[in-house]
Amino acid sequence: MKQYFEIIYSFFWLGCISFGGPAAHIGYFRKVFVEEKRWLDQEHYGQLVALSQFLPGPGSSQVGFSIGLHRGGLIGACLAFISFTLPSFLIMLSLAVGYQSFSNSDGFSGLLQAFKLLALVVVIDATLGMAKNFCQTKVLKAIALMTAIFLLLANFPYHQIAALVGAAIIGSLFIHHNKQETPSLKAPQTHFARPNLGLLALFFVLLAVCLYFTLNLFTGSFVAGSLVFGGGHVVLPLLEQQMTGLVTPDEFLAGYAAAQAVPGPMFTFATFLGAMAHETPWIGALIATAGIFLPGFLLVLVFHKSWRTLANHSVFSAAISSVNAAVVGLLIATCYQPVFTQAITDKLDVAFALFLFALLKVFNAHISVLVGICLLWGLLVL
């Protein structure tokens, strides 16, 4: 029982102070659970981080879930997730309720416009960073660009899923024949271990059901959470497609901007959307939050003993590399529609967006500084 209280306290405190996104969260976890508490050694922790990069889902939350699983079994994993996510969940729920209460007040439109511009800057920065990491060869760059072109022109249901599946097929058929085109996942050789086939079947059954029953908070969130390769920012375009008709474009971009400024996992963006889309905000928030996180955690339970065997298989490794390149193209397309088209209305918007981008990239300003500037800009200028 003592270990469960330790898990709750440790992860709740981290959930309150873990600003900076998934990469920063992984640093916080290492400092607390490897260096200070010594719940696991550096090698084991490195393997958990690699597993989170190998699977779709919320990377840093999957690392936290895995640490809880190691420390306290399945109960410990669930307690770690709940404790780490709860502060962010409560903040995003409160922001959604506040949005609904004050959206018609004077000055709110200026704030909304300022945060749309912040969202544009954050998406562009995420796209550039992911392109640098995942598009290091000519083939992977071509996959990213062709994916972006396809998504900008396509107009049929699940075109994003089609793009990701197509990229995986291209990678598995062609890239693995050329080892130089396949960035190594650096997984150590290990004895063969089978994945949990029962949980894997459950995952695919749930995914199939959710794909069939569209325009629903849980199903839309589950599909998005099942396809987030490459980083938390990828949840933006996936949720944008799944939440069409449930929230307005303004609500969507406001939630994404708010998610940059709160501690804890970025996936609580879905919390905001669920609260906005449901007549009872806290129920909608719970439904959407459960849907977005569940697939990633199911896959951790499926593969936590067998992932290294799969990662060392050239075909599988190439498919993952191609999907990661495709999600860069997905973000490129999203930068234009809906983010750019919703955020930029005149020359003043362009100038302010460039100013924010300069602060972020040239002067390395923290995201909280940008949030404060947007608040002032929205209230005093727009």
DSSP state string for 44-111: HHHHHHHHHHHSSS-HHHHHHHHHHHHHHHHHHHHHHHHHHHHHHHHHHHHHHHHHHHHTTSTTHHHH
What is the CB-side half-sphere exposure of residue 182 using CA atoms within 13 A?
A: 24
Of the candidate ranges 67-71, 183-187, 326-330, the one whose mean pLDDT is the lowest: 183-187
Question: In whole angstroms, how far apart are CA 126 and each of 116, 330, 352, 374?
Answer: 15, 12, 18, 19
194 vs 349, more confident: 349
pLDDT score of 193 = 67
- Residue 282: closest CA among 268, 272, 267: 272
**pLDDT digits over 80-132, tens only?**
999 999 999 999 999 999 988 877 676 678 888 998 998 899 889 888 988 98
Is 310:303 a contact under the CB 8 Å cutoff?
yes
Cβ-proximal residues to 293 (8 Å cutoff; 6+ apart), any chain: 57, 58, 61, 81, 85, 225, 267
Of the listed ranges 5-14, 93-102, 182-191, 347-356, the least confidently predicted one is 182-191
Rounded to an integer, the average pLDDT of 35-56 is: 85
Mean pLDDT of 204-219: 85
pLDDT in tens, 10-23: 999 999 988 777 87
- Work out the angle between the directed axes of helices 108-134 and 347-361 (0-180°, nearest 10): 50
> How far, CA to CA in Å, does 279 sit from each of 198, 255, 348?
36, 17, 36
Helix H or strand E encompassing 270: helix 269-277
Per the CB < 8 A criterion, the answer to whether 307 and 55 are in contact is yes
190 CB-side CA count, 13 A: 16
Q: Is the pLDDT of residue 209 over 50?
A: yes
Determine the length of the chain.
382
Residue 192 phi, psi dihedral angles, 5° rounding: -70, 135
158 secondary structure, DSSP code: T
Reduce the DSSP state of residue 269 to 3 states and report it: helix
pTM, two decimal places: 0.81
The candidate with the shortest Cα–Cα distance to 291, out of 215, 234, 242, 220, is: 220
Residue 64, pLDDT above cutoff 60: yes
